[in-house]
Structure 1
Amino acid sequence: MTTHAAIHTSLWGDNALPLRPAGQVMNLERLGAYHQSRLSFMRTLVRRIFRERWSIEPAIFELDKDGYGTVVYEVDAPNGMFSFVLFSDYLSADERNDRVIATKWDLTMALVEGKVDRQYVEQLRLNVPKQEAGRVDSRVFVLSRANRSSRNFGYVVDQLASGQQPDISKISEVGYLYRTTAVYGSGKLGMADWEKVHSKHKDFSRPFAGEMFVCLMLRNFSLLQVEHIARHRSPETFGAMQPEIKRYFGIGNSTGLGMAPYLVNHPLLINQWVEMRELALARIRTLGGIDKQVLATLNELIERSAQHTLETITEDDWQTQNNKVVIEDMTKLGGFIETGFNSWNELVAFSEQQCSLQGQEMLVSIMLEMHPELVDELEDFHCSDEQLDLDPLMPTSELKDIIERRYEWALAIDFDAEGARETYWYRSEEKMEPRLGSVADIEGKKKQMALGVGYAVRKCYNHLSNYIEQNPGHTTARFMVAHPKLRGIVRRIQGMDRCIYGDIQANLLDRDVLPMHLLRCKLAFFGVSKFDPRSRLWVRNTMFQGAPLLEDIGKPFVDDWFMPLAPKQ
């Protein structure tokens, strides 16, 4: 694992940069206040594609007049050739279902290493449209499916066929033509595992790069397909969509509890993601200059963030209130800047005193836009060795010191309070998806997942304290012999002590835990926007809205699609 200290020393010398403390950063509500940023995976992927000028061209394009058929793109990247294979099938209204229990979809897709011949495409055709019911081989490393937007797809086709442009106000309500219902990778259904992708395919060796690329290609195809259908429907009156309207279309996504456990089960990786974001912020606070151009850009981005939030439509009262507060926070920040400020630290301090967590973290994202020269190179440090090693020779007194120092937050929680251990997490046998249960369900509790890190640390600490009283001077190995069931949490405690961040400082077993914060955090690292919660357990959002188009590759590229706004019409 590449640590903050190693990265900092190699790039900036020995003076430590002022990182925000873990107690502040890893607060669950603050993690749930994250926004997309310059280091989000969608942004870093698009920068890479445009910087390296990937060639992405259709090798097979066999769509009928209604847009059904097969399309294969060949992706020529600097370190290899790949194929994006897509199947478009007719889906009747009674078969349409966005839930995980669905068995048919409008589009199914696969990202494959190398070129594909007709025989292999036919093999994929027999399996990819089946998704979980099919099987693929290790040439495939991402599998996905998507459904059309019932409000937008037909409307946009009709508009283009009649020579009209889609109405922006209508598009703002649902900013996509397709929404994904799953994007699979990392060895599922016979696909290549992450170790193979990471070591063999450098073009997709960053976390979730392959998955993000499939969503980008889905967005590109959605725009191509509506024009294809409209052109065939009415060739005499057809008019192509204006590029600025195309760029405003993203891809829809719905995310549920399936994403939440990832943040708990991959602490070293999450530490790396958070640490790079915090290191970027620290660099700007310490080294980022402030001149007239920077101030002008800062004001523009604050206004843009407020307008983008205003254009975010949600039916959820909680999110609506959050959005109102963010807009108010942006007004406060704009007012403070007008009075004059002398340093980034001054601006951050003002936000922490006067703005909500949502507003504070929006400012962090805005600041990361200000100095690309201090931020962009950190995108190469999002991977991590995820091995948590157990040190059996560590004295038990040292283990106890680590818990008291690093897990002070867990020791401060009263796990005997009412509702403190009422929730448990388990995996559905039917769809292998995480769910929330109540301790009242005794049988279900037997299937619970080990996500209550804080409670596990507390139990370990209690046993350890009693053990040390009776056996001072013993090693961790002897403690493990006496308490073998604690081996997992001891390994985590020892392994995480080499990190700054990584552990979410919250009781995930509490009756009032809000999984939405976990979903929001991971989605922000992906780079999504326009969060629209449908309950406390799942959220709709938009991907790649405002991103450049594939046809823009090779043209002058300005990486400026942070918080995109509706184009004027």
Structure 2
Amino acid sequence: MITLAAIQTSMRGDNALPLRPAAQVMNLERLGSIHQSRLSFMRSLVRRIMRERWQITPVRFELDAEGYGHVVYEIKAPQGLYSFVLFSSYLSPEARNDRVIATQWDLTMALVAGQVDDIYLEKLRQNVPKQEAGRVDARVFVLSRANRSARNFDYVVDQLAKGEQPDIQQIAKVGYLYRTTAVYGSGKLGMADWEKVRSHYQDFARPFAAEMFVCLMLRNFSLVQAEHIARQRTPDTFQPMRPEIKRYFGIGNSTGLGMAPYLVNHPLLINRWVEMRELALARVRALGDISPRILLQLNELIARCAQHTRETHTEDQWQTENNRRTLRDLDALSTQLQEPLHDWDRLIEWSEAHCSLQGQEMLTSILLELYPALVDDLEDYFCAEEFLDLDPLMPLQTLKSVIETRYAWALDTDFSAEGARDTCWYRSEEKMEPRLGSIIDAQARKKQMALGVGYAVRRCYDHLCAYIEQNPDHNTARFMVARPKLRGIVRRIQSMNRCIYGDIQANLLDRNVLPMHLLRCKLAFFGVSKFDPRSRLWVRNTMFQGAPLLEDIGNRFGDDWFMPLAPQQ
């Protein structure tokens, strides 16, 4: 088995693979342009489930004719037994709200270690539907909730009850029956923290694997519930949904600023995610054979991506223009491929000269799709030890050189320019969720989050230069004694110097910063598609569209649900 040390050697040794530079990859707009890929967490989770043939069985199915009640699924995976518990309740139209301030939902659910008996089920019933207002114990490691799609759910039930299939054109506009508004894990509300999940529950020991699994189970239940209600309504005329239409349904997701700080606060982990993606691309560039079969598949994937983009519906003008630009890029790429192709590097260089960032990163995802044997093993290396260590013996001249080399982007930013420090990231008092405000708001400033890494580096550098003038031979320890408030940023600077990527190279305090790029980046690593921004601060998207169904487990699996297309009617 390939070890992480061997992988890192291949990235840094004399025969290093051609990794793209951090200045290019960690640009905020480029990060906000990446797409789902083979290494996205949903794809790797589904591969694992299908390869290991997880047994997922409903052991309690207590729903009334309207689909209200509870269900419990038992999941037998190679390393353990788990339970997925879901509660379905009536939600009045006036109480329906996708925002984090909501207190009621159509569905609430939990992923639990072990079997669930009557006593524990009742304990979950008392707390899971309350979400943040409830409390659970460390047997639970994911908590979530979801609301019905007002446009799709009743329509699909009505169609199935009449013995008809839902119209594909209508489904393509909103490709889900439910959307989740939050998926909680990592110790929140009394749940097991990440260290416990990683060490005790090996089936979910990859980042966000448990959270993605809950979304997959929600997608499954949404289809089961719709058929259940339709069958109960008119048993004589009811017809089940065709499997290919079922697979086209995903699960919706509404994501706001809550996940944006994650990319800043976990730089070592983000470095690992980006490293593995970039190493996959480097392997393709260096080792990917360009055969007639590969060229045929390449053209098919370009056509698929174009059709998928055309089937993405949004009312947002910014996203609409992104989609149009991507379509133009894909069309130009198809034309370019009419010329002989012998080198992936040249195609990538051509895209960098002629395509938008959206088109360039779409090509990256397509290239990864062509070579499973070169890419898929990297999914085992997405975890990272997240310790930012201080090196007290580092000479200050070395620290100064590190900043000048690694953080040149921060030193090149003019933080005195108008609007350069106008944005204030803070945590709301009501929900303890991230918000975006103005630095002139005193209340927001009191709860400000330390997301301005570039500005912190600039301040540290200025203090460091002044200190070195007086004490050129001192080390970091003595500088820390004199400037203790800079300990956090110095620790980050020294630790990140051991990484290739990790720090987002942008001023997140700028008046015109676009948080959507942060949301898009993390969601792409999850594996979502069909981005539909509702403002500059939150976005709807679709998860697991095209993925296999639970009843497909144990059957042949081609892992071919990249950029899924609407089935033929």
TM-score (norm 2): 0.98
Q: What residue in structure 1 maps to residue 199 of structure 2?
A: 199
Q: What residue in structure 1 maps to residue 97 of structure 2?
A: 97
Deviations 1:482-534 (A, max 9, x none): 11100000000000000000000000000000000000000000000000011
Q: Secondary structure at the match of 1:338?
A: coil
Q: What residue in structure 2 maps to residue 364 of structure 1?
A: 364
* Equivalent residue runs for 1:419-568 within 5 Å: 419-568=419-568
* Equivalent residue runs for 1:54-453 within 5 Å: 54-453=54-453
Provide the rounded CA distance (Å) in 2 between the counterparts of 1:37 and 1:21: 20
Provide the rounded CA distance (Å) in 1 between the counterparts of 2:63 and 2:188: 29
Specify the code of the residue in structure 1 equivalent to 2:426.
Y
Provide the rounded CA distance (Å) in 1 between the counterparts of 2:416 and 2:345: 40
Alpha-carbon offset, residue 5 of structure 1 = 5.9
Q: Secondary structure at the match of 2:563?
A: coil
Deviations 1:74-109 (A, max 9, x none): 000000000000011111112211111111111000
Alpha-carbon offset, residue 3 of structure 1 = 9.7
Q: Secondary structure at the match of 1:154?
A: helix
Alpha-carbon offset, residue 6 of structure 1 = 3.5
With over 3 angstroms needed to count, the CA separation of the structure-2 counterparts of 1:308 and 1:296, relative to structure 1, is same
Q: Secondary structure at the match of 1:72?
A: strand
Specify the code of the residue in structure 1 equivalent to 2:76.
D
Q: Secondary structure at the match of 1:58?
A: strand
Alpha-carbon offset, residue 12 of structure 1 = 12
Provide the rounded CA distance (Å) in 2 between the counterparts of 1:190 and 1:285: 46
Provide the rounded CA distance (Å) in 1 between the counterparts of 2:443 and 2:337: 57
Q: Size of the alignment, in residue pairs?
A: 568
Are the equivalent residues in 2 in contact too, given 1:149–1:177 (CA < 8 A)?
yes
Provide the rounded CA distance (Å) in 2 between the counterparts of 1:167 and 1:283: 42
Specify the code of the residue in structure 1 equivalent to 2:472.
P
Provide the rounded CA distance (Å) in 1 between the counterparts of 2:85 and 2:5: 42
Provide the rounded CA distance (Å) in 1 between the counterparts of 2:386 and 2:219: 32
Specify the code of the residue in structure 2 equivalent to 1:185.
G
Specify the code of the residue in structure 2 equivalent to 1:155.
Y
Are the equivalent residues in 2 in contact too, given 1:109–1:145 (CA < 8 A)?
yes
Q: What residue in structure 1 maps to residue 18 of structure 2?
A: 18
With over 3 angstroms needed to count, the CA separation of the structure-2 counterparts of 1:8 and 1:476, relative to structure 1, is closer
Provide the rounded CA distance (Å) in 1 between the counterparts of 2:6 and 2:497: 16
Provide the rounded CA distance (Å) in 2 between the counterparts of 1:403 and 1:132: 41
Are the equivalent residues in 2 in contact too, given 1:207–1:383 (CA < 8 A)?
yes
With over 3 angstroms needed to count, the CA separation of the structure-2 counterparts of 1:42 and 1:459, relative to structure 1, is same
Alpha-carbon offset, residue 346 of structure 1 = 1.1
Provide the rounded CA distance (Å) in 1 between the counterparts of 2:344 and 2:4: 21
Provide the rounded CA distance (Å) in 2 between the counterparts of 1:436 and 1:502: 23
Q: Name the % identity.
A: 75
Alpha-carbon offset, residue 10 of structure 1 = 7.5
Are the equivalent residues in 2 in contact too, given 1:28–1:517 (CA < 8 A)?
yes
Output the aligned Cα RMSD. 1.3
Are the equivalent residues in 2 in contact too, given 1:4–1:275 (CA < 8 A)?
no
Q: Secondary structure at the match of 1:339?
A: coil
Alpha-carbon offset, residue 9 of structure 1 = 3.9
Q: Secondary structure at the match of 1:251?
A: strand
With over 3 angstroms needed to count, the CA separation of the structure-2 counterparts of 1:519 and 1:347, relative to structure 1, is same
Provide the rounded CA distance (Å) in 2 between the counterparts of 1:509 and 1:419: 8
Are the equivalent residues in 2 in contact too, given 1:426–1:447 (CA < 8 A)?
yes
Are the equivalent residues in 2 in contact too, given 1:8–1:14 (CA < 8 A)?
no
Provide the rounded CA distance (Å) in 1 between the counterparts of 2:343 and 2:545: 32
Are the equivalent residues in 1 in contact too, given 2:142–2:214 (CA < 8 A)?
yes
Q: What residue in structure 2 maps to residue 35 of structure 1?
A: 35
Alpha-carbon offset, residue 118 of structure 1 = 1.0
Are the equivalent residues in 1 in contact too, given 2:11–2:19 (CA < 8 A)?
no
Specify the code of the residue in structure 2 equivalent to 1:444.
A
Are the equivalent residues in 2 in contact too, given 1:88–1:106 (CA < 8 A)?
yes
Q: Secondary structure at the match of 2:164?
A: coil
Are the equivalent residues in 1 in contact too, given 2:11–2:17 (CA < 8 A)?
no
Provide the rounded CA distance (Å) in 2 between the counterparts of 1:444 and 1:49: 44
Provide the rounded CA distance (Å) in 2 between the counterparts of 1:396 and 1:53: 55
Q: What residue in structure 2 maps to residue 45 of structure 1?
A: 45
Alpha-carbon offset, residue 174 of structure 1 = 0.6
Provide the rounded CA distance (Å) in 2 between the counterparts of 1:425 and 1:146: 27
Q: Secondary structure at the match of 1:455?
A: helix
Alpha-carbon offset, residue 439 of structure 1 = 1.6
Are the equivalent residues in 2 in contact too, given 1:255–1:538 (CA < 8 A)?
yes
Q: Secondary structure at the match of 2:260?
A: helix
TM-score (norm 1): 0.98
Deviations 1:243-298 (A, max 9, x none): 00000000001100011000000000000000000000000000000111100110
Provide the rounded CA distance (Å) in 1 between the counterparts of 2:53 and 2:298: 29
